[in-house]
Amino acid sequence: MNNKKRKEILFKIYSENFKFIKDNSSLKDNFDKGFGCFCPICLDFFVKEDLEDKINPLTLEHNPPQSLGGKSSILTCKKCNSDAGHKIDNEILTALLEIDALHFKPNSEIKTQFYNESTDGKGVNAKIKIEEDGKFLINIDTKNNNPKIHKKFFDSEVQEYNSPLFSNDISKSGWSKKLNFTFDKPNKTNERLASISLLKIAYLMAFEKLGYLYIFNKNTEIIREQIKHPEKEIIKNPFWITYQFPDNLLGVNIITKPRELRSILVIFNLKTKSDSYKISICLPGFSEGDEKIYEKIKDILCQGNGFQNIEVNNYINSEYNIKDIEKTFRLVQFWESFVEKQ
Strand partners, 183: 114
When the beta carbons of 13 and 42 are compared against Zn ion, the nearer one is 42
When the beta carbons of 48 and 105 are compared against Zn ion, the nearer one is 48
Residue type, 214: Y
When the beta carbons of 77 and 297 are compared against Zn ion, the nearer one is 77
CA-wise closest residue to 181 among 119, 134, 139: 119
CA–CA distance, 209 with 324 (Å, rounded to integer)? 11
Q: How far is the CB of 83 from Zn ion (least distance, A)?
A: 8
When the beta carbons of 1 and 55 are compared against Zn ion, the nearer one is 55
When the beta carbons of 83 and 290 are compared against Zn ion, the nearer one is 83
**What is residue 243's three-state secondary structure?**
coil
Exposure letters 255-282 (e unless 16+ CB within 10 A, then b): bbeeebbbbbbbbbebebebbebebbbb
Geometric angle at alpha carbon 84, from 95 and 75, rounded to 5°: 120
Q: Residue numbers of the site for Zn ion (CB under 5 A)?
A: 39, 41-42, 77, 80
CA–CA distance, 145 with 153 (Å, rounded to integer)? 11
Q: How far is the CB of 212 from Zn ion (least distance, A)?
A: 14
